[in-house]
Amino acid sequence: MLDATLQHDSSASRLGRGRRGRVLVVHSSDEMYGSDRIVLEVVSELVGSDTLDVTVWLPSDVAQGPLGPQLRELGARVERHPLPILRRLKLTPAGFLRLGRDAAKTLARLRGKHFDLVYLATSACLPVAPLARMAGIKRVVGHLQEPWGTKDRVGLRPLARACTALVAVSRSVLGASGLAEDVRAVVVHNGVPHRSRDLPEAAPLHGLPHYVVASRWNPHKGHATLLKAWEKAGCPGELVILGAVPAAGIGVDVHALVAEHVSRPETVVVVGEVDDSTPYLQAADAVVLPTDTLEGFGLVTVEAFSEGRPVIASRSGGPEEVIQDGETGWLFDCRDVDALAELFRLLDVPTLAAAGRRAEQVYRDEFTPERMRRRIGAVVDRELNHRGRGPSGLAVAS
């Protein structure tokens, strides 16, 4: 794997004079969390090319959400279909039968569309890779946004090998996939737009910090660790919790966790799902990302940095590639309630503000969406135009 910065060639496509390349993007949800925001950026880059016609397929087994309309606003054609999306709750005998049926329908649909390239936006979409190759589509890009466990690797690596190029959001994700030495793979860190608004600064709570946590309410996101540490530190300020249980997958009851672990529940505000987290990030002194296992990237980290807010995160993979411990945020070991509680006890508003200023500069230097989009665009351009091939015919970075 060569992780050099890719240079995007914006010249006219060599697909053929006057012919627009047809790109299909397959995504696994219709929400507006981390991977969904990255899909918006990817599609924006592809639609912005005057040489590509972009279609997005979203799965029909989830409720219609906010992503589809935003993709249409960008100019993409959006369709909802039964898709063979891997979901942990549905890895049952009946679930595998459904996957088989959806795979057959997807293969038939792909054979009739004549796409030049298929872009799989998450690991959950990888079953589409061999189907696309069977349908005669020569270029398939897999975007790995999630860390794989041991069992995941058994099933996902054969599917990933049907891709002609792979993009991983972090070195941690690529390492967890077991594909770190694969010449098809390149690491492209996520980037987010700066969406700051002119809002009045929140009044400090008796000089104590305001913290916010924003994520899906999944078991591995560490809400119990967070609330136990909050209690152990004496509930030192105000903690705002954004998010909701996932539309498809296992969730946790955050309200019940607050009632179970926090003796001063008035210091914890459970807001739930919001359309835009920007006002909450701006009102906070720091963001907390207490993931208990592996975090692929932790998009909220760079969202916080873009607003000049530092991040307190577990050493869970992706965040370790973004946060400079003690400079732009603070790191603690996964599930270490005592360590997180100690950080809550020691940190004050001036210290958090100084780290936030450093974090904002790092965002400007390394994590803008333009930087990410250029690198994604370079991968797609290389695949469509068959450049940069090694002896094996696989894509390499330059």
pLDDT in tens, 268-280: 999 999 988 999 9
260 vs 201, higher pLDDT? 260
CA trace torsion 299, 302, 306, 309 (10° rounding):
110
Query: Would you state the pLDDT for residue 382?
Result: 95
Cα–Cα distance for residue pair 118/24, rounded to 1 Å? 5
Residue 195 pLDDT: 76
Q: Distance (Å, rounded) from C-alpha 231 to C-alpha 217?
A: 19
Query: Would the pLDDT of 361 be above 80?
Result: yes
Q: What is the pTM of this model?
A: 0.82
Confidence of residue 398 (pLDDT cuts 50, 70, 90): very low
Q: Is residue 248's pLDDT more than 50?
A: yes
State the pLDDT at residue 201.
54
| Mean pLDDT value of segment 378-388 | 84
Beta-strand runs (E) in the chain: 21-26, 52-59, 77-81, 117-120, 139-144, 165-168, 185-187, 210-214, 238-242, 268-272, 286-289, 311-314, 329-332
> What are the tens digits of pLDDT across the range 197-208?
655 555 555 589
Q: What is the pLDDT of residues 80-107, one digit of tens each?
A: 999 999 987 777 888 889 999 999 999 9
Structural domains of the chain in order of their starting residue, each with its CATH number: 21-191+368-385 (3.40.50.2000), 210-366 (3.40.50.2000)
pLDDT value for 10: 42
Average pLDDT, the chain: 89
Read off the pLDDT band of 393 (50, 70, 90): very low
